[in-house]
Structure 1
Amino acid sequence: MFTPLVTAAMALGVSAHGTMDTRQTPHVVRDTVYALTGIVGLVGTGFHLFNVRRKAGGFSWQNLFYGAPLGAPMAIGLSGLLGYLSERVRETPPGQAPMIWGLPAGRVVGVVSGLGITGTVGEAALLHFRGGFHDPFMYLPVTMPPVAALVLGRSALGPAGITRRVTRWWLRATAILGLSGTAFHAIGVGRDMGGWRNWQQNILNGPPIPAPPAFTGLALAGLAALGLLEDHPDD
C-alpha cells in the first residue's frame, strides 16, 4: 500500500523537473517513472476491484460506497500516461508536428483527457450519490465535466477547422470547478462532528479533499491538447 504513495511522489518530482528542463529531449528517468506510475495505477485498480469483490455482498452499493475507491489508482495511472505523452511531445524535432503512436499529438492528448474526465465523473457521481446530493453544488461535478468531455472529444476527433472557443471556455470552467471542489470538501470536513479539531478522523471519513483537483488537472491537459491542435493542424 506504500507503492502508490512513493510512485505518485516520484511522478510529481519528475514532472517538476520536466517543467524546469529547457532541453527539447526526453529524459530516461522521467520516462521510467511515468511508465512505472502507469503500471502501478493499473495494478492498483485490480487490487481495489479485488478488495470490493471479496467483501460480503460483492459488488453491492454498500461495498462500492465504502470499499477501496475504484477510481483512485486509475487516476495515478492516468497521471503517468499523460506524463509519458508530454515527453513524446517534447522530443518532437523543431519544425515538425508532434506525433504520438503515429497520430497527431493534440488528438491523442485530447482523447485521453476526455476519457479521464469521463472516468472521474463516474467516481464523483458514486460518492456524491452516497452523500445524497444534499447540497445543490454537488450536482456540478456530474453535469459540467461530462459536457467538457463531450466538447473536448468533438475537438479531438473532429475536423481541424472547427471552432474550439466554447471547448476552451468550458475546460477553463471545469478547471475552476476542480479547485472550488477542494474548498467545498474542506468545508464538509469542518462540518463533521468535532470539525477540524477532530481532523484525524474527519479527514479520513469526510469528503476527500484531494479528489476534486483531478478535474483541474485533466481540464488543463485538455487545454494543452487544444493548443497542440491549433498550433499543428493536421488537415
Structure 2
Amino acid sequence: MNRAVDLALLGGAAVALSGLMVGPILATDPKRIPLQHQPRRPESGLPVRRARQQEAATVRAARGLNRAAGTLAASVLADSSIEHYRGSFKNRAMVTPLIVSAMTLATSIHGTSDMRPSAHKARDITYLLAAATGLLGTGFHFYNVGKRVGGFSWQNLFYGAPLGAPMAILLSGLLGFCSERLRESRSASRPEIFHLPAGRTIAAVTGAGLLGTSGEAGLLHFRGAYHNPFMAVPVTLPPIGAVLLMRAAAGKAGREHAFSRVWMRLLALVGLAGVAFHAYGVSRNMGGWRNWSQNVLNGPPIPAPPSFAGLALAGLAALGLMKEHPHA
C-alpha cells in the first residue's frame, strides 16, 4: 500500500511541478494578437473569404497537432511513472521524462485552446525540450540494454529498458513543434514547415512514428507469445495506416484521402481499446485488481496503447490540412 501511495504522490508532484513551471509563462504573452486583429494579406487572385477559411483550417490543424502531442505526452507521463518507479528510480535522470512529459501535456492543453495564428515561444521551448529528452532517453535505454550480460540479446531486449519507449516523448515534442511552425506559416494557399509542404511533412513523420510504435509493440507482444489473437492488432493495423499516410504524402494534390481518414479513426479506437485489453491482462495476474499495486507494475503497461491514438490524431490533422490546402 505504501508503494501505491508513493506512486500516486509521485504522479501528483510531477503534474504540480509542470503547472508551476509552465503556468506562469503561458498565462501572459503581451505579443500575441487575436486573429481578427491580425489579418494576413491573401495571395494575388485568392478571394479574401477563401483565404480566411484556409487560415482557419491551418489553425485548426495546428490545434489538432497540439492534441496529438498532448495525448502522447499523457501516455509517456503515466507509463514512465510506472516503469521508472518499478526501477526504483535507480538513476536520478529517470525522473526527467516525468517532469518533461507533464510540462508538454500542460503546454499542449494551452495550445489546443489557442485560436491565434502565431507561434508561442514558451510552447516552442517546451516542445524542443521534449524532443531532446526523447533523444537522450533513447541513448540511455540503448546503454542500459547494451551493458547487460549478453548485450543486445533477445532476453535483454525483452526485459531491459524498452528501446522504443523514449521515442514517444520525442514524437510528442516533434509534433508540437510542427504545430507552432504551422501556426506561423505565412502562405495562405500552401502552409509550410521549413519550406516543406506542411500536410505532407506531418503525414510522413506520423507514418514513421506509427511504424516505430508498432515495432515496439511487436517486440513486447512477441515476448507474450501472442497468446491472445488481439495482440496481432497493433502490429498489423498501424503499419497499414503508415503506408496510407506515406502514400498521401507522396501522392498527387487534390485527393480526398477519405479511406485514410477512416483508418486513422480506427487506429484511434485501437489505442483506446488497447487500454481495456491491458487492464484485462492486469486482472488475470495473481490477485487481479485486488493486488493492483503489484500487478500494475508487472502486468501489460496500461498507459502505452494511447500512443497509437495520439499518432492517429496527428494523421487526421495532416489529412485534414491537405484537404483544405491541396498543395500543403
TM-score (norm 2): 0.70
Q: Distance in 2 between matches of 1:220 and 1:20?
A: 16
Corresponding position: 1:165 with 2:255: no
Count of aligned pairs: 235
Residue 325 of structure 2 is aligned with which of 219, 232, 235?
232
Deviation of residue 163 (structure 1)? 4.4
Q: Cα RMSD over matched residues? A: 1.2
Q: Distance in 2 between matches of 1:185 and 1:135?
A: 11
Between 155-164 and 141-150, the greater mean CA deviation after superposition: 155-164
- Residue type of the partner of 2:275? T
- Residue type of the partner of 1:233? P
Corresponding position: 1:72 with 2:72: no
Deviation of residue 24 (structure 1)? 1.6
Between 157-166 and 175-184, the greater mean CA deviation after superposition: 157-166
Aligned twin of 1:215: 308
Aligned twin of 2:235: 142
* Structure-to-structure mapping, 1:3-152, within 5 angstroms: 3-93=96-186, 95-152=188-245
Deviation of residue 19 (structure 1)? 1.0
- Residue type of the partner of 1:109? I
- Residue type of the partner of 2:207? G
Aligned sequence identity (%): 61
Between 77-86 and 154-163, the greater mean CA deviation after superposition: 154-163
3-state SS, counterpart of residue 55 of structure 1: coil
- Residue type of the partner of 2:297? L
Aligned twin of 2:19: none
- Residue type of the partner of 1:10? M
3-state SS, counterpart of residue 95 of structure 1: coil
Deviation of residue 96 (structure 1)? 4.4
Between 189-198 and 122-131, the greater mean CA deviation after superposition: 189-198
Residues 65-116 of structure 1, C-alpha deviation per residue, up to 9 Å, x if partnerless? 1100111111111100000001111122473421001111001110010000
Assess if the C-alpha contact under 8 Å between 2:204 and 2:249 holds in 1: yes
Q: Distance in 1 between matches of 2:320 and 2:116?
A: 20
- Residue type of the partner of 1:72? A
- Residue type of the partner of 2:269? I
Deviation of residue 176 (structure 1)? 0.5
Q: Distance in 2 between matches of 1:115 and 1:8?
A: 21
Q: Distance in 2 between matches of 1:199 and 1:170?
A: 34
- Residue type of the partner of 2:141? H
Q: Distance in 2 between matches of 1:198 and 1:188?
A: 13
Q: Which has the larger radius of gyration?
A: 2
